[in-house]
Structure 1
Amino acid sequence: MSARKQTGPALRVLMTADAVGGVWQYALDAAEGMRAHGVETILAVLGPAPSGDQLEKARTSGIEVIDTGLPLDWTAEQAGEVAAAGQSIARLAAEIRPDIVHLNSPALLADGSFARPVVAVCHSCVATWWESVRGGPLPEAFEWRTELVRRGYRAADMLLAPTAAFAHATARVYNLAEVPTVVRNGRRPARGEAPGTRDLFAFTAGRLWDDGKNFAAFDRAAAHLSIPALAAGPLGGPNGTQIAARHAIALGRLSDEEVAGYLSAQPIFVSAAKYEPFGLAVLEAAQAGCALILSDIPTLRELWDGAALYVAPDDDDAFARSIERLSADETMRRAMGEAAKKRAGAYSVGAMSAGILSAYRALIPSRFRSISLKGAAA
């Protein structure tokens, strides 16, 4: 794709992000993808500070990062902290004067007043997480967080969601008048060297401490495998949650390049998630040509049906049997890896950038005369 060169930014965007999970990759890929079309994005990071490799990636991509030190809505101790964070981001927006404010944490809009149009993205929330992972009435600590998200959703000028299944779940849980617009995530493939010669192994990656990722099922399945089971990601979260690896080999937090190195060996990739609004780790594995074994939940069915094997999230015996089946059948494993890689081509950074730009264009069409959305989708 050859993007039309701009003499200056056609659009300035203030985008919030966090460095804890997939929102960081989403924000960097979106900012880099839109930069090719004259869009300048400034990232305001909330929650734990980005790591050195994360900051280096942003720097080499030409993306300005502001580490605000403000709390995330799901780690804050009380509603007032989130309200203050929203007001701080609003003040930052008033200083920067962007054309668009892009909130990846919609709760910030509950008490933040912005003079510019606001696009909010429904990446995840405690209410839909609780429904998928625990069930039953929300605990008190989740009720006020849910109310902040509800207010933020209703105050946004436009809502986006990464899958239709999650968009409809969000609209139902929050009783929204309109279903959020679907803009599927994309991922720029990372490159990394495989960590030495290695026989076939099973692999999972993500926030292992998050019960929604259901690492415990993968860990239990690992006890019954004839091949190693490796897991990349932190076992402890910023909210104090901790989990132990009893049978799988825990690799800890890895950089994008280190994860890409393991994926380049084309292991059997497993996601046992109970809650996954999109699943960037699955996309990264598919881009590398890994055979996929996924939990049978609506979002993962929507994205990968016909290109993965599916297992009920808590059936660790079925996960073990599926992994063993693929490990013993190289032909099937390679065919599934090719199918996953072909499907991954639909979830590109270009397509994601085009979707986001279309949302921006709907809010301020006069600023888009020099931006080719056709080119952005390439």
Structure 2
Amino acid sequence: MRGGGHLLLSADAVGGVWQYSTDLIRALQPHGYQVTLAVMGPALSEAQRAEAAAIANCHLVETGLELEWLAAEAAPIVQAEARLAEMAGDLRVDAVQLHTPALVSAGRYPCPVIALLHSCVATWWEAVRGGPMPEDFNWRAALVAAGLRQATRVIAPSMAFAEAARRRYGVLPMAVHNGRSFPVKPQAMQDHVFTAGRLWDEGKNIRVLDEAAARIAVPFRAAGPLEGPQGAGIGLHSLVSLGPLDSMALARHLASRPVFASAALYEPFGLAVLEAALAGCALLLSDIPTFRELWDGAAIFVHPRDAQGFAWAIEELLGDGATRVEMGQRAQTRAGAYTPAATAAHMAGHYRAVQRKVAA
């Protein structure tokens, strides 16, 4: 695949996987790759279809196949793997990149498979709840475990998450940091606090930020859905909910460089943090291994369950403009290392490596 090739790349339209996939495909264009983007799960929005259509090296296929984390049992995921393997053969692609190892559990593909471990229920459970997993998590984890062993190569978005996967599954993925291009037109800095993500996800630990919001004197705004696709949800008392925002609306909110806070208990990478850093926001983050890996020296860290600690740190930053500006500059500088171009360069190297391995 030296000089490019044809990839089949699976994705879903819910959450950060879509953003990761479209950013990566754009950045792969200079490397000579054509990409068939096979989208699974809920239907795309018209805006997402338009976004994919505008990417010159992308051919979009909406498969209607079920997502592993939304399916009621393993059978539809095994069937989805069979369909994707058939597509790979029909298209004669050079390699397949899957957004979850669960889609290579049977090893049916006619070409090398790179499995991305963006997240998984077993490592989520370990970080958020602990103890024995429920039965509907067990079959999902079993598919991921099988896929980790069948894939030609496995990639995780951070070394910290790769280590969490090793502890759970006995397989150590290679780490390739995610990247994001997120232009923001800076405005005058304003005193408010911001967070973003899947607010309904218990792993985002929004309740701690809601408690912190009750203890500070400035607005604390939260962007993202309050209800998940399987009925999970959260009610807010002090955070100001903005609902889901598209990229342009998010950029407008970040332009005034609010203090950005995340109390996440579980975060394989954290695209929302990266977007805030690119905007020059000072970062106030939970002290978890992923955030330490990515942002140590460029953020302030608080224990993830310490609502009062978050409130104190917010007040200190808001009361010290010079430190707030300095921390925003540090975050922005660090964010410059996490670009789609860098991600694409690393991934192109992996595509070439797995193809050489098959040819040898």
TM bin, normalised by shorter chain, reads over 0.9
Aligned letter for 2:309?
A
Cα displacement string for residues 120-161 of structure 1 (whole angstroms, at most 9, x for unaligned residues) = 011100000000000011111111110000011110000111
For the residues of structure 1 that align with 2:189 and 2:311, how far apart are their CA atoms?
20
- Which residue, out of 29, 39, 50, partners 1:35? 29
User: Following TM superposition, by how much is the alpha carbon of 1:53 offset from its aligned partner in structure 2, in angstroms?
Assistant: 2.2
Structure-to-structure mapping, 1:317-332, within 5 angstroms = 317-332=308-323
In structure 2, the residue corresponding to 1:364 is in which secondary structure? Answer: helix
Query: Does 2:157 align with 1:162?
Result: yes
Cα displacement string for residues 269-301 of structure 1 (whole angstroms, at most 9, x for unaligned residues) = 011100000001101111110000000000100
Structure-to-structure mapping, 1:220-231, within 5 angstroms = 220-231=211-222
For the residues of structure 2 that align with 1:218 and 1:51, how far apart are their CA atoms?
30
Distance 1:41 1:191, change over 3 A: farther
For the residues of structure 2 that align with 1:191 and 1:66, how far apart are their CA atoms?
31
Query: Does 2:39 align with 1:52?
Result: no
For the residues of structure 1 that align with 2:234 and 2:189, how far apart are their CA atoms?
27
Query: Does 2:194 align with 1:200?
Result: no
For the residues of structure 1 that align with 2:236 and 2:84, how far apart are their CA atoms?
38
Runs ≥4 in structure 1, deviation > 6 angstroms? Answer: none
Could you say which residue in structure 2 is the equivalent of 1:255? Answer: 246
Could you say which residue in structure 2 is the equivalent of 1:116? Answer: 111
Maintained 8 Å contact 2:107/2:150: no
Could you say which residue in structure 1 is the equivalent of 2:332? Answer: 341
For the residues of structure 1 that align with 2:344 and 2:251, how far apart are their CA atoms?
22
Could you say which residue in structure 2 is the equivalent of 1:181? Answer: 174
For the residues of structure 1 that align with 2:13 and 2:297, how far apart are their CA atoms?
32
Could you say which residue in structure 1 is the equivalent of 2:136? Answer: 141
For the residues of structure 1 that align with 2:168 and 2:250, how far apart are their CA atoms?
34
For the residues of structure 2 that align with 1:35 and 1:164, how far apart are their CA atoms?
26
Could you say which residue in structure 2 is the equivalent of 1:105? Answer: 100
User: Following TM superposition, by how much is the alpha carbon of 1:366 offset from its aligned partner in structure 2, in angstroms?
Assistant: 9.9
Cα displacement string for residues 155-186 of structure 1 (whole angstroms, at most 9, x for unaligned residues) = 0000111111111110120012xx21111111
Cα displacement string for residues 307-336 of structure 1 (whole angstroms, at most 9, x for unaligned residues) = 101011111111111111111111110000
Count of equivalent residues: 355
User: Following TM superposition, by how much is the alpha carbon of 1:92 offset from its aligned partner in structure 2, in angstroms?
Assistant: 1.8
Maintained 8 Å contact 1:87/1:112: no
Could you say which residue in structure 2 is the equivalent of 1:298? Answer: 289
For the residues of structure 2 that align with 1:131 and 1:161, how far apart are their CA atoms?
17
Aligned letter for 2:252?
G
In structure 2, the residue corresponding to 1:265 is in which secondary structure? Answer: coil
CA RMSD in angstroms comes to 1.7
In structure 2, the residue corresponding to 1:159 is in which secondary structure? Answer: strand
User: Following TM superposition, by how much is the alpha carbon of 1:193 offset from its aligned partner in structure 2, in angstroms?
Assistant: 8.7
For the residues of structure 2 that align with 1:128 and 1:31, how far apart are their CA atoms?
27
Could you say which residue in structure 2 is the equivalent of 1:5? Answer: none
Aligned letter for 2:39?
V
Q: Percent identity?
A: 48
Maintained 8 Å contact 1:83/1:112: no
For the residues of structure 2 that align with 1:213 and 1:48, how far apart are their CA atoms?
22
Maintained 8 Å contact 2:35/2:59: yes
Query: Does 2:61 align with 1:66?
Result: yes
Distance 1:290 1:217, change over 3 A: same
Query: Does 2:356 align with 1:361?
Result: no
Structure 2 unmatched runs, 5+: none
Range that drifts further, 181-190 or 276-285? 181-190
Maintained 8 Å contact 1:101/1:116: yes
Could you say which residue in structure 2 is the equivalent of 1:17? Answer: 11
For the residues of structure 2 that align with 1:192 and 1:147, how far apart are their CA atoms?
45
Structure-to-structure mapping, 1:230-249, within 5 angstroms = 230-249=221-240
User: Following TM superposition, by how much is the alpha carbon of 1:263 offset from its aligned partner in structure 2, in angstroms?
Assistant: 1.0
For the residues of structure 2 that align with 1:320 and 1:52, how far apart are their CA atoms?
39
Give the alignment's TM-score, normalised by structure 2.
0.95
For the residues of structure 1 that align with 2:357 and 2:147, how far apart are their CA atoms?
26
For the residues of structure 2 that align with 1:65 and 1:252, how far apart are their CA atoms?
27
For the residues of structure 2 that align with 1:366 and 1:182, how far apart are their CA atoms?
19
For the residues of structure 2 that align with 1:24 and 1:57, how far apart are their CA atoms?
11
Maintained 8 Å contact 2:285/2:301: yes
For the residues of structure 2 that align with 1:171 and 1:28, how far apart are their CA atoms?
28
Could you say which residue in structure 2 is the equivalent of 1:219? Answer: 210
User: Following TM superposition, by how much is the alpha carbon of 1:254 offset from its aligned partner in structure 2, in angstroms?
Assistant: 0.8
Distance 1:193 1:261, change over 3 A: farther
In structure 1, the residue corresponding to 2:222 is in which secondary structure? Answer: strand
Range that drifts further, 197-206 or 286-295? 197-206
Give the alignment's TM-score, normalised by structure 1.
0.90
